[in-house]
Amino acid sequence: MSDEVEPGFVRVRLDLAYDGAEFSGWAKQRNRRTVQGELESAIQTVLRLADPVDLTVAGRTDAGVHARGQVAHVDLPAEVWAAEGGKLLRRLAGRLPWDVRVWRVSEAPEGFNARFSAIWRRYAYRVGDHPGGVDPLLRGHVLWHDRPVDVGLMNEAAKLLLGEHDFAAYCKKREGATTIRTLLELYWERDPATGLAVATVRADAFCHNMVRALVGAMILVGDGHRAVGFPGEVLAGRVRHSAVNVVRPHGLTLEEVGYPADELLAARNREARNMRTLPGCR
Protein backbone atom coordinates (compact mmCIF):
# COMPACT_ATOMS: atom_id res chain seq x y z
CA MET A 1 0.00 0.00 0.00
CA SER A 2 1.50 3.32 -1.12
CA ASP A 3 1.63 6.25 1.25
CA GLU A 4 3.21 8.81 -1.07
CA VAL A 5 2.27 12.45 -0.60
CA GLU A 6 0.64 13.67 -3.81
CA PRO A 7 2.58 16.19 -5.90
CA GLY A 8 1.75 19.73 -4.84
CA PHE A 9 0.92 18.72 -1.26
CA VAL A 10 2.82 18.86 2.04
CA ARG A 11 2.35 16.39 4.93
CA VAL A 12 1.78 18.26 8.19
CA ARG A 13 2.09 16.75 11.68
CA LEU A 14 -0.25 17.90 14.46
CA ASP A 15 0.41 17.25 18.16
CA LEU A 16 -2.81 17.60 20.11
CA ALA A 17 -4.78 16.92 23.28
CA TYR A 18 -8.45 16.54 24.13
CA ASP A 19 -10.89 15.81 26.91
CA GLY A 20 -12.90 12.87 25.61
CA ALA A 21 -15.96 13.28 27.85
CA GLU A 22 -18.17 14.98 25.26
CA PHE A 23 -16.85 13.17 22.20
CA SER A 24 -18.07 9.93 20.59
CA GLY A 25 -14.43 8.94 20.16
CA TRP A 26 -11.86 10.04 17.60
CA ALA A 27 -13.29 8.73 14.32
CA LYS A 28 -15.84 10.68 12.28
CA GLN A 29 -19.44 9.54 12.66
CA ARG A 30 -22.59 10.84 11.07
CA ASN A 31 -24.63 12.98 13.50
CA ARG A 32 -22.16 12.47 16.37
CA ARG A 33 -19.55 14.83 17.76
CA THR A 34 -16.02 13.44 17.32
CA VAL A 35 -12.48 14.76 17.66
CA GLN A 36 -11.67 14.06 14.02
CA GLY A 37 -14.83 15.83 12.89
CA GLU A 38 -14.10 18.96 14.93
CA LEU A 39 -10.47 19.14 13.79
CA GLU A 40 -11.13 18.56 10.09
CA SER A 41 -13.88 21.16 10.09
CA ALA A 42 -11.67 23.69 11.87
CA ILE A 43 -8.71 23.17 9.52
CA GLN A 44 -10.86 23.48 6.42
CA THR A 45 -12.48 26.65 7.79
CA VAL A 46 -9.38 28.55 8.97
CA LEU A 47 -7.43 27.71 5.79
CA ARG A 48 -10.47 28.48 3.60
CA LEU A 49 -10.08 25.22 1.69
CA ALA A 50 -12.62 24.27 -0.97
CA ASP A 51 -12.27 20.53 -0.31
CA PRO A 52 -12.55 18.67 3.03
CA VAL A 53 -9.32 17.49 4.66
CA ASP A 54 -8.64 13.96 5.89
CA LEU A 55 -6.72 13.40 9.12
CA THR A 56 -4.80 10.20 9.95
CA VAL A 57 -4.25 9.58 13.67
CA ALA A 58 -1.76 7.53 15.71
CA GLY A 59 -4.44 5.90 17.87
CA ARG A 60 -8.21 6.00 17.36
CA THR A 61 -9.47 6.48 20.90
CA ASP A 62 -12.93 5.32 21.98
CA ALA A 63 -15.78 7.46 23.27
CA GLY A 64 -14.89 9.05 26.60
CA VAL A 65 -11.13 8.38 26.38
CA HIS A 66 -8.81 11.39 26.75
CA ALA A 67 -5.51 12.27 25.07
CA ARG A 68 -2.61 14.39 26.22
CA GLY A 69 -0.08 13.37 23.53
CA GLN A 70 -2.08 12.39 20.44
CA VAL A 71 -0.48 12.75 16.98
CA ALA A 72 -2.17 13.13 13.60
CA HIS A 73 -1.18 14.15 10.08
CA VAL A 74 -2.91 15.90 7.21
CA ASP A 75 -1.81 16.55 3.62
CA LEU A 76 -2.30 20.22 2.68
CA PRO A 77 -1.80 22.06 -0.64
CA ALA A 78 1.80 23.27 -0.72
CA GLU A 79 0.84 26.84 -1.60
CA VAL A 80 -1.63 27.00 1.29
CA TRP A 81 0.96 25.64 3.73
CA ALA A 82 3.58 28.12 2.50
CA ALA A 83 1.23 31.07 2.88
CA GLU A 84 -0.80 30.12 5.94
CA GLY A 85 1.15 27.45 7.84
CA GLY A 86 2.77 29.91 10.20
CA LYS A 87 -0.66 31.18 11.29
CA LEU A 88 -2.40 27.82 11.55
CA LEU A 89 -1.74 27.13 15.24
CA ARG A 90 -3.15 30.47 16.43
CA ARG A 91 -6.11 30.28 14.07
CA LEU A 92 -7.01 26.80 15.30
CA ALA A 93 -6.85 28.05 18.90
CA GLY A 94 -9.52 30.60 18.02
CA ARG A 95 -11.72 28.16 16.11
CA LEU A 96 -11.58 24.87 18.03
CA PRO A 97 -13.87 24.13 21.00
CA TRP A 98 -12.44 24.20 24.53
CA ASP A 99 -12.05 20.42 24.81
CA VAL A 100 -9.58 19.92 21.96
CA ARG A 101 -6.26 21.79 21.56
CA VAL A 102 -3.49 21.61 18.97
CA TRP A 103 -0.11 22.33 20.58
CA ARG A 104 2.23 21.98 17.62
CA VAL A 105 1.97 22.12 13.83
CA SER A 106 5.01 21.17 11.74
CA GLU A 107 6.00 19.87 8.33
CA ALA A 108 6.46 16.11 8.70
CA PRO A 109 9.72 14.38 7.72
CA GLU A 110 9.74 12.26 4.58
CA GLY A 111 8.13 8.85 5.15
CA PHE A 112 6.12 9.98 8.19
CA ASN A 113 2.68 8.49 8.80
CA ALA A 114 1.08 9.30 12.17
CA ARG A 115 -0.38 5.80 12.45
CA PHE A 116 1.97 3.42 10.67
CA SER A 117 5.29 5.09 11.53
CA ALA A 118 4.60 4.91 15.28
CA ILE A 119 6.64 2.32 17.19
CA TRP A 120 4.73 2.57 20.48
CA ARG A 121 1.80 4.22 22.25
CA ARG A 122 1.74 4.94 25.97
CA TYR A 123 -1.47 5.15 27.97
CA ALA A 124 -2.17 5.86 31.62
CA TYR A 125 -5.19 4.58 33.55
CA ARG A 126 -5.98 6.30 36.86
CA VAL A 127 -7.84 4.58 39.69
CA GLY A 128 -8.94 6.17 42.96
CA ASP A 129 -9.60 3.85 45.90
CA HIS A 130 -10.03 6.36 48.73
CA PRO A 131 -13.12 5.31 50.74
CA GLY A 132 -14.50 8.84 50.44
CA GLY A 133 -14.40 8.79 46.64
CA VAL A 134 -12.51 10.81 44.01
CA ASP A 135 -11.41 14.44 44.20
CA PRO A 136 -14.25 16.32 42.43
CA LEU A 137 -11.68 18.24 40.37
CA LEU A 138 -10.29 14.95 38.99
CA ARG A 139 -13.52 13.00 38.67
CA GLY A 140 -13.64 13.17 34.86
CA HIS A 141 -10.27 11.40 34.57
CA VAL A 142 -10.28 8.87 37.41
CA LEU A 143 -12.17 5.61 37.99
CA TRP A 144 -13.35 5.20 41.59
CA HIS A 145 -13.02 1.69 42.98
CA ASP A 146 -14.86 1.04 46.23
CA ARG A 147 -12.23 -1.33 47.66
CA PRO A 148 -8.53 -0.60 48.30
CA VAL A 149 -6.16 -1.99 45.66
CA ASP A 150 -2.66 -3.38 46.32
CA VAL A 151 -0.25 -1.87 43.77
CA GLY A 152 2.42 -4.47 44.59
CA LEU A 153 0.13 -7.38 43.77
CA MET A 154 -0.99 -5.74 40.54
CA ASN A 155 2.64 -5.27 39.51
CA GLU A 156 3.31 -8.96 40.10
CA ALA A 157 0.38 -9.80 37.84
CA ALA A 158 1.51 -7.28 35.22
CA LYS A 159 4.89 -8.99 34.77
CA LEU A 160 3.13 -12.10 33.45
CA LEU A 161 1.59 -10.10 30.58
CA LEU A 162 4.71 -8.45 29.15
CA GLY A 163 6.07 -9.35 25.72
CA GLU A 164 4.53 -10.44 22.43
CA HIS A 165 1.30 -12.40 22.83
CA ASP A 166 -2.07 -12.95 21.24
CA PHE A 167 -4.22 -10.63 23.37
CA ALA A 168 -7.52 -12.00 22.00
CA ALA A 169 -8.78 -12.51 25.58
CA TYR A 170 -8.41 -8.77 26.21
CA CYS A 171 -9.63 -7.40 22.87
CA LYS A 172 -12.87 -6.86 21.07
CA LYS A 173 -12.31 -8.93 17.93
CA ARG A 174 -12.50 -7.17 14.58
CA GLU A 175 -12.84 -9.11 11.34
CA GLY A 176 -9.55 -9.42 9.48
CA ALA A 177 -7.50 -7.78 12.25
CA THR A 178 -4.82 -9.48 14.31
CA THR A 179 -4.86 -9.40 18.12
CA ILE A 180 -1.11 -10.05 18.42
CA ARG A 181 0.61 -7.18 20.21
CA THR A 182 3.91 -6.55 22.01
CA LEU A 183 3.37 -5.19 25.51
CA LEU A 184 6.53 -3.22 26.30
CA GLU A 185 5.67 -1.80 29.73
CA LEU A 186 2.93 -2.45 32.25
CA TYR A 187 3.27 -1.25 35.82
CA TRP A 188 1.37 0.50 38.61
CA GLU A 189 2.50 3.22 40.99
CA ARG A 190 0.93 5.53 43.54
CA ASP A 191 0.86 9.19 42.59
CA PRO A 192 2.32 10.87 45.72
CA ALA A 193 0.35 14.07 45.13
CA THR A 194 -3.10 12.52 44.70
CA GLY A 195 -2.83 9.00 46.13
CA LEU A 196 -4.21 7.57 42.90
CA ALA A 197 -3.12 4.16 41.61
CA VAL A 198 -1.85 4.86 38.09
CA ALA A 199 -1.18 2.17 35.48
CA THR A 200 1.33 2.89 32.72
CA VAL A 201 0.70 0.74 29.65
CA ARG A 202 3.02 0.94 26.63
CA ALA A 203 2.83 -1.30 23.57
CA ASP A 204 3.70 -1.22 19.89
CA ALA A 205 -0.05 -0.98 19.24
CA PHE A 206 -3.33 -1.76 20.96
CA CYS A 207 -6.45 -3.58 19.86
CA HIS A 208 -9.96 -2.45 20.74
CA ASN A 209 -10.64 -2.31 24.52
CA MET A 210 -7.24 -3.87 25.32
CA VAL A 211 -6.02 -1.40 27.96
CA ARG A 212 -9.37 -1.18 29.74
CA ALA A 213 -9.70 -4.99 29.86
CA LEU A 214 -6.14 -5.42 31.17
CA VAL A 215 -6.84 -2.87 33.90
CA GLY A 216 -10.08 -4.65 34.77
CA ALA A 217 -8.25 -7.96 35.22
CA MET A 218 -5.50 -6.44 37.37
CA ILE A 219 -7.96 -4.62 39.62
CA LEU A 220 -9.44 -8.02 40.47
CA VAL A 221 -5.98 -8.99 41.73
CA GLY A 222 -5.41 -5.68 43.49
CA ASP A 223 -8.61 -5.82 45.53
CA GLY A 224 -8.16 -9.49 46.50
CA HIS A 225 -10.85 -11.05 44.33
CA ARG A 226 -8.37 -13.06 42.25
CA ALA A 227 -4.87 -14.53 42.59
CA VAL A 228 -1.80 -12.90 41.04
CA GLY A 229 -1.71 -15.45 38.23
CA PHE A 230 -5.28 -14.77 37.07
CA PRO A 231 -4.58 -12.15 34.33
CA GLY A 232 -1.90 -14.43 32.84
CA GLU A 233 -4.29 -17.38 32.84
CA VAL A 234 -6.89 -15.27 31.00
CA LEU A 235 -4.25 -14.28 28.42
CA ALA A 236 -3.28 -17.91 27.82
CA GLY A 237 -6.93 -18.86 27.31
CA ARG A 238 -7.25 -16.49 24.33
CA VAL A 239 -10.98 -16.04 24.92
CA ARG A 240 -12.89 -13.37 26.82
CA HIS A 241 -13.41 -14.24 30.50
CA SER A 242 -16.74 -13.43 32.11
CA ALA A 243 -15.06 -12.16 35.31
CA VAL A 244 -13.02 -9.50 33.47
CA ASN A 245 -14.82 -6.19 33.09
CA VAL A 246 -13.79 -3.61 30.53
CA VAL A 247 -13.45 -0.67 32.92
CA ARG A 248 -15.02 2.69 32.10
CA PRO A 249 -13.28 4.90 29.51
CA HIS A 250 -12.93 8.13 31.48
CA GLY A 251 -9.95 6.85 33.52
CA LEU A 252 -7.89 6.30 30.35
CA THR A 253 -5.58 8.86 28.72
CA LEU A 254 -3.29 8.50 25.71
CA GLU A 255 -0.14 10.11 27.07
CA GLU A 256 2.47 9.80 24.32
CA VAL A 257 3.24 8.29 20.91
CA GLY A 258 6.78 7.21 20.02
CA TYR A 259 8.42 7.38 16.58
CA PRO A 260 11.81 6.20 15.29
CA ALA A 261 14.53 8.45 13.91
CA ASP A 262 13.53 10.29 10.74
CA GLU A 263 15.56 8.01 8.46
CA LEU A 264 13.65 4.96 9.77
CA LEU A 265 10.12 6.37 9.40
CA ALA A 266 9.41 5.00 5.92
CA ALA A 267 10.64 1.50 6.80
CA ARG A 268 8.50 1.43 9.94
CA ASN A 269 5.55 2.67 7.89
CA ARG A 270 5.87 -0.34 5.56
CA GLU A 271 6.56 -2.87 8.33
CA ALA A 272 3.54 -1.87 10.43
CA ARG A 273 1.13 -2.69 7.59
CA ASN A 274 2.04 -6.40 7.62
CA MET A 275 -0.28 -8.81 9.41
CA ARG A 276 1.55 -10.40 12.37
CA THR A 277 1.52 -14.01 13.50
CA LEU A 278 3.11 -15.74 16.47
CA PRO A 279 5.88 -18.33 15.94
CA GLY A 280 4.32 -21.65 14.97
CA CYS A 281 1.09 -20.01 13.77
CA ARG A 282 0.07 -19.34 10.19
| Chain mean position to CA 23 | 15
Helix (H, G, I), strand (E, B) or coil at 145: coil
Q: What residues contact 19, with CB distance under 8 A and at least 6 apart?
A: 66, 99, 100, 140
Contact between residue 47 and residue 24 where contact means Cβ atoms under 8 Å apart? no
Distances (CA, A) of 32 to 22, 108, 274: 10, 30, 32
Q: Indicate which residue of 19, 62, 129, 166 is catalytic.
A: 62
Q: How far apart are CA 2 and CA 272, in angstroms?
A: 13
With both helix axes pointing from N to C terminus, report the angle between 151-159 and 210-222 in degrees, rounded to the nearest 10.
130
62 as an active site residue: the answer is yes
Q: How far apart are CA 13 and CA 108, in angstroms?
A: 5
Question: Which amino acids are annotated catalytic?
Answer: 62
